[in-house]
Amino acid sequence: MDTIDRRIVEVLLDDGRASLAVIGDRVGLSAPAVKRRVDRLVADGVIRGFTAVLDPQHLGWGTEAYVELHCQGTIGPAELRAAFASVPEVQDAATVTGQADAIVRLVARDVRHLEDALERLRNAARNVERTETAIVLSRLVERGGALPARPLE
């Protein structure tokens, strides 16, 4: 990725619906040149896809929580991925270092719905010993996949 590619990505992160002509105006290229670069960024896996970003609050999902899962014994990432995929309230999940085996971000309509989703999450993964849940009060930073233009040195 060169400087122009980084600027194209910044424009797309700012406005994913920007036309190729608008992107070109902002980065100093023609629309066909921007298209070639965007196609290459997609082919190279830099851009994984294009999507609409929804506000869960407006869709009735007003409660959000982070859940640490602590399992007995070992459980592999593939098994956890399959378990988490079966719970539609799971928005993000990752294996982590430390005492927890995984951390999950859940959304729910309200606390009662969250409790139900937590119970299904506990039952979906094998050998869940316990969970620790932190309900989100307010979001402070939300970059939606945006990364710094290059790693810090």
Model pLDDT for residues 38-87, shown as the tens digit of each residue: 999 999 999 998 888 788 888 889 999 999 999 998 889 999 999 999 99
Q: What is the DSSP code (8-state) at residue 64?
A: E
Distance, CA of 49 to CA of 37 (rounded, Å): 14
CA of residue 35 relative to chain centroid, distance: 25
Percent pLDDT > 90 in the chain is 73
- Across 5-31, average pLDDT: 94
Distance, CA of 114 to CA of 112 (rounded, Å): 5
